[in-house]
Amino acid sequence: MAKTIRNRKAGPAVYIVVILVFALITIAYTWPMVAHPATRVAGGSGDTLLSTYIMSWTTHAIRANPARLFNATMFFPNKYTLAYSDLQFSNSLISLPALLVTTSPIAAYTFVIFMGFMISAFGAFLLVYYLTKDAYAGLAGGIVFGFAMYKLMHLNHAGILATGFIPLAFVCLHKFTENRKPLFAILFTVSTIFVFWTSWEYGFFTAFGIGIYLVVLAIVKRRPLADFVRGRADAQSRRRLIRSTGMLLASFVLIGVVLIPFALPYLKLQKADPSYKRSITEVEKYSGDVQDFFTAPAANLLWGRATAGIRQNTIDRGWENAQSRPPVMEERTLFIGLIPVLLGIAGIVYLARKRKTSLEKVAFPFYTVLLVVSLVMCLGPTLYVFGRHLNIPMPYQLLYRFFPGFKAIRTPTRMFVLVLMSLAVLGGFGIKWLRAKMRGKYSLRAATLTIVVVLVLLTVEMMPFGITTIPVPGKTGFPAVYQWLGTVKGNTPTVVLPLPSSNEEYNGWEPWRIYYNLDSWKPILNGNSGFAPATYIQALEVMNETPFPSKKSIDFLRGMNVKYVVVETAKILNGKAVVASAQAPGTGGPGLTLVKTFGDDYLFELK
């Protein structure tokens, strides 16, 4: 293995070994969730069930009617309701084989999580291996990028974990600008499209990184560019530059053309509702603090307890009180780890002294600049240092105001993905430097053993000591009322009451309701997302100010063309009395009829 994995031209055996290593790490990282793929999920139910709903609806629409892709069943009666969240089209495509084989939405979601780690690690391996020509360096880069502690806080965010197409896009871009072969322009185009299909914010972050790369490349290659501009380049060089520039521009145009149909629903929503964007105040609340770079997840094996004091002292940015905000710790644990930082520093020193190849001459300034810039951008519009608001404007404000797409992004700290990719590359060069130092001084076996030990320690540093999972029923375990609705023919718009009156209820109740909707795909007034349509906000106001079965609430539901009303009495104070009053003569006017009772769930029909 040692001889095979260090070959500059990797054979199939190297890739097989690397994939197996990453598979074993992924199993350990996601245990015990991966042991119960169809019945348990990690990281909480809210975003997990929303992602499951999105991917299940997307695969359903692809097979049934692709033209209705964005017209999901939630947030009835609105159009383009899938555009209130990230589409996660890439994840939906990845989930399709598992969904077809198992017919279990949760098993498909677990498969996406597993593949998210695998593709991220392997994509980073390919990038680092190409730049360093060292498979051990590629392994280190894959571990740093694929299994970062940051991802431990996002096991309920399939879209955030799916970072693998970002390094794939950059390795294709490196290969194209290095040898100018059309194949790599095509692969760069496909990879970048898949980044946008995974997450719009990752797409815009990647576009930002590509912009920095092209600027750095132009500076590094300034002499041939200057010769071209001044007419000093020979005919062959001019033709090659014009051809490669044309192919790259064609790639950008093709990316835009492919993405336009996916972007139009978002643009239509924004045109119809000017509030469909993130205010700078909201972005401020989800930005980072300098201390967040020293905060590890509580479940991390080595650093969870060590950084507990910092984690407990995390101060919220801009929230009036603890009750008014959602939990933000998952966005504020940005500790990278000690070994990745040391390897990154070693890589920077190595490249600063001995960058010889054309790849190294581009990689050193690009990934160093990208690392620093991305770290700064994670801090958001104004600077916070250990809870103290210094009120110093930060460069992120320029991205928010002038860079396309950033007004739709709520969480600047997610630019941390570019920090991780940069550190993965620089850390890979650190491994290359370490191997070069040991070459000639120690035997091959001793040098290899040392590198393996470093890789093992790096993996252990990333590891959790056990993640918490919760049970999620399959379709056969859905509440009986939802199974009954699945037997009703035709589109029968439904609302499930009570509607939430707080963020806690919104994220605790609504994801389950749209998840149970997978059994019928009937239009449902309920929904869950980072944005919500005006009609849903109005429904919250009406149904909470004058609760069901008031005449105003029932008139409102009739006006929304709701046919069935499911009342979950367990979530209502004196719920049995409420449904009893709904059956009283004259309540809500004519046409309110109790159809069936399912334990604590009561089903009414509006005619």
Percent of the chain's residues with pLDDT above 70: 94
Say whether pLDDT at 57 is over 90.
yes
pLDDT tens per residue across span 391-440: 899 999 999 999 888 988 999 999 999 999 999 999 999 999 999 888 87
The mean pLDDT value for 167-193 works out to: 97
Cα–Cα dist 61/51, whole Å:
15
Is the omega angle on the peptide bond into residue 549 within 30 degrees of 0, that is, cis?
Answer: yes
Taking the alpha carbons of 235, 239, 242, 244 in that order, is the dihedral positive or negative?
Answer: negative
Strands (E), 406-476: 469-471
On whether the pTM is more than 0.85, the answer is: yes
| Cα–Cα distances in angstroms (integers) from residue 95 to residues 105, 286, 527, 528, 536, in the given order | 9, 29, 22, 21, 29
Cα–Cα dist 528/367, whole Å:
37
Least confident stretch, 190-204, 224-238, 281-295, 329-343? 224-238
Say whether pLDDT at 81 is over 90.
yes
Cα–Cα dist 339/336, whole Å:
9
pLDDT: which is higher, 313 or 2: 313
In the chain, helix, strand, coil percent, each to 5? 65, 5, 30
Give residue 95's pLDDT.
Answer: 96
Say whether pLDDT at 11 is over 90.
no
Q: How sure is the predictor about 382, in pLDDT bands with cuts at 50, 70 and 90?
A: very high
Is the omega angle on the peptide bond into residue 32 within 30 degrees of 0, that is, cis?
Answer: yes
* Strands 592-598 and 564-568, bridge-based pairing: unpaired
Tell me the CATH number for domain 475-606: 3.40.50
Q: Rounded to the nearest 10 degrees, how much is the dihedral formed by the CA atoms of 380, 383, 387, 391?
A: -120
The mean pLDDT value for 314-324 works out to: 54
Residues 159/205, Cβ–Cβ less than 8 Å: no
Say whether pLDDT at 43 is over 90.
no
3-state secondary structure of 91: helix
Cα–Cα dist 87/65, whole Å:
16
Cα–Cα dist 589/329, whole Å:
48
Give residue 465's pLDDT.
Answer: 87
The mean pLDDT value for 560-572 works out to: 94
Cα–Cα dist 272/403, whole Å:
22
pLDDT: which is higher, 491 or 125: 125
Give residue 202's pLDDT.
Answer: 97
Cα–Cα dist 103/569, whole Å:
31
Longest dimension (CA), the chain: 93
Give residue 8's pLDDT.
Answer: 53
Q: How sure is the predictor about 323, in pLDDT bands with cuts at 50, 70 and 90?
A: very low
Residues 288/375, Cβ–Cβ less than 8 Å: no
Give residue 310's pLDDT.
Answer: 82
The mean pLDDT value for 70-97 works out to: 95
Say whether pLDDT at 490 is over 90.
no
43-46 own/partner pairs: CB under 8 Å, 24+ apart: 43/153, 43/154, 43/155, 43/156, 43/157, 43/467, 44/156, 44/470, 45/156, 45/470, 45/472, 45/508, 45/511, 45/512, 46/156, 46/507, 46/508, 46/511, 46/528
Residues 197/54, Cβ–Cβ less than 8 Å: no
Say whether pLDDT at 5 is over 50.
no
Structure tokens at 418: 């570019």
Cα–Cα dist 543/538, whole Å:
8
3-state secondary structure of 586: coil
Residues 106/38, Cβ–Cβ less than 8 Å: yes
Structure tokens at 248: 């790259």
Mean pLDDT estimate for the chain: 90
What are the residue ranges spanned by the domains of the chain? Answer: 2-30+86-462, 475-606
Give residue 357's pLDDT.
Answer: 87
The mean pLDDT value for 126-143 works out to: 97
Say whether pLDDT at 584 is over 90.
no
Give residue 321's pLDDT.
Answer: 47
Residue with tokens 């396309």: 404
Structure tokens at 568: 């979950």
Structure tokens at 210: 């590509």
Give residue 319's pLDDT.
Answer: 54
Q: How sure is the predictor about 586, in pLDDT bands with cuts at 50, 70 and 90?
A: low
* Strands 382-385 and 388-393, bridge-based pairing: antiparallel
Say whether pLDDT at 6 is over 50.
no
Say whether pLDDT at 499 is over 80.
yes
Q: Find, among 423, 357, 365, the residue nearest to 124 by Cα.
A: 423
Q: How sure is the predictor about 287, in pLDDT bands with cuts at 50, 70 and 90?
A: very high
